[in-house]
Amino acid sequence: MNTNKDVILKKVNKYCNDSGNLVVFDYEKDLNKEIKRSFLVNCTKETIRGRHAHKNLNQFLVCISGICRVIYKDGIARGEVILENPNQILKIPNQIWAEQHYLKNTSLLVMCDDIYREEDYIRDYKLFLDYRKNLIKK
């Protein structure tokens, strides 16, 4: 069972020159996963999104622009990371509750190691806590 210790913030290479910046993600090397789905969230005003956990899917978050504060919980402890550079990748493993606080004009790239399956989501925090307790019992 994953805990907050399994949430990992990793920096990848960023190449800069006079014409701009290049950030490269090697999915197998940098993420140790095959990416099957990705999506971009663009928020022009301060808002909170996420507020869920996954039973099996792992997510990798990259703040393309702006600032995103990510709060995560394993049912016991709470952690927080500020994403503000596109060469930072935050791994949110399965069985971890996460919410993203988007500050003004923020774009977040989310990469997933599985396709969308509604049954994989836990969208209620109380149900998440029950799910975690049941995992401990097994």
Q: Which residues are catalytic?
A: 52
What is the DSSP track for the chain? Answer: ---GGG-EEEE--EEEETTEEEE---IIIIISS---EEEEEEESS-EEEEEEEESS--EEEEEEES-EEEEEE-SS-EEEEEE-STTEEEEE-TT-EEEEEEPSSEEEEEEESS---GGGEE--HHHHHHHHHHHHH-
